[in-house]
Amino acid sequence: MEGALNNIPYITLAELVERFDVILFDSDGVLVSWPSAIPHAPEAIARLNELHKPYFVLTNDASQVAETRAARYAQLGLAIEPDKIISSGMLLKTWFQEQGLEAYRCVVLGTEDSVIYARDAGGQVVPFEEDFDVLVVGDQDGFPFLDTTRTVLTTLFRKLDRGETPRLVVPNPDLYYPERDGFGFASGTVAGMFEAALALRYPDRLDLTFARLGKPHPAMFEEAFRRTHPHTRNMAMIGDTPSTDIRGANNVGITSVLVETGGGLVDLGSLPEGDRPGFRMRGLAV
Ligand SMILES: [Mg+2]
């Protein structure tokens, strides 16, 4: 166990900047631990801005649109432009296009910003009590999930009993999130509740699952490739969670870097092969 751990070399941000064309940062546990910035993160971002080094922030959190999030970063001394922020909510647009769902009726369980993401994607957002074609489980951040899921589950069952098949999507597949004093359920868990109930009532319907868009799935990384000019895959992803940041980067063939500033307990020796980082990093000191 110790051997596997020792095989993973340490690297610094300065070395990454030298070796890679684009740096990708996870947000929580790497740049911020709400409501504070992670030590050295503001200087690191300032340095990249000064160098005009291409970078993006890849966050599964879909509770805020890019402008809202950039303003919150600014309050913590992180000068990150909105167009450098890629959240799982933004991926709805491509998903709606690919699935041909523009103008379909859509119920969104989540924050006001989650609703904006669905509207930007082309969905016709209706109140949660109404009939719908697409269910978007967005990020909560105070949204009263338990009060709304009962109504939405009833609508889902009625639709399926009538022979209609609603489309299901959860931009952020995370199961829980860290808070200042503990943890909360994230949208992936809410999607899982619906899936469990649907599987029990319609055991033969293997299609009644949610599309999941955020890390470790490739869509967010593909969006970073798309936004880089000239396009390059010579990227390094810095994250604190092996099962999302590291696995996602490894899956798309870019270099993964596990930073030790996050709150997660990581025993590198026990990680499955696909979740092992290419490098380790102590922090973002420049
Ligand atoms: Mg994180």
Q: How do residues 155-173 score in pLDDT, each as one tens digit?
A: 999 999 999 999 999 999 9
127 located within any domain: yes
pLDDT of 2 above 60: no
Distance between Cα 96 and ligand 1 center (Å): 26
Distance between Cα 185 and ligand 1 center (Å): 15
Q: Give how far Cα 71 sits from Cα of 35, 58, 66, 75, 233, Å.
A: 13, 16, 9, 6, 29
Distance between Cα 39 and ligand 1 center (Å): 15
- The structure tokens listed for 169 are 């999507």
d(CA 238, CA 13): 9
| Residue 206 φ/ψ, nearest 5 degrees | -80, -5
Q: Which residues surround ligand 1, an ion (CB under 5 A)?
A: 26, 28-29, 240-241
130 located within any domain: yes
Specify the pTM: 0.88
190 located within any domain: yes
Distance between Cα 282 and ligand 1 center (Å): 15
CATH at residue 197? 3.40.50.1000
Distance between Cα 53 and ligand 1 center (Å): 22
**Which H or E run contains 248?**
helix 247-251
Judge whether 95 and 211 are in contact, CB under 8 Å. Answer: yes
- The structure tokens listed for 146 are 């338990």
Which domain, by its residues, includes 175? 90-212
185 located within any domain: yes
- The structure tokens listed for 10 are 């340490």
Distance between Cα 240 and ligand 1 center (Å): 5
280 located within any domain: no
Instruction: Write down the residue that tokens 């005009």 correspond to.
Output: 52
Domain tally for the chain?
Answer: 1
128 located within any domain: yes
Write the DSSP string, 22-76. EEEE-SBTTTEETTEEPTTHHHHHHHHHHHT--EEEEE---SS-HHHHHHHHHHT
276 located within any domain: no
Distance between Cα 161 and ligand 1 center (Å): 40
286 located within any domain: no
Q: In this predicted model, what pLDDT tens digit does every residue of 91-128 receive, in sequence order?
A: 999 999 999 999 999 999 998 889 999 999 999 999 99
Distance between Cα 226 and ligand 1 center (Å): 23
- pLDDT above 90: percentage of residues in the chain: 80
* Nearest Cα residue to 243 out of 277, 220, 281, 206: 277
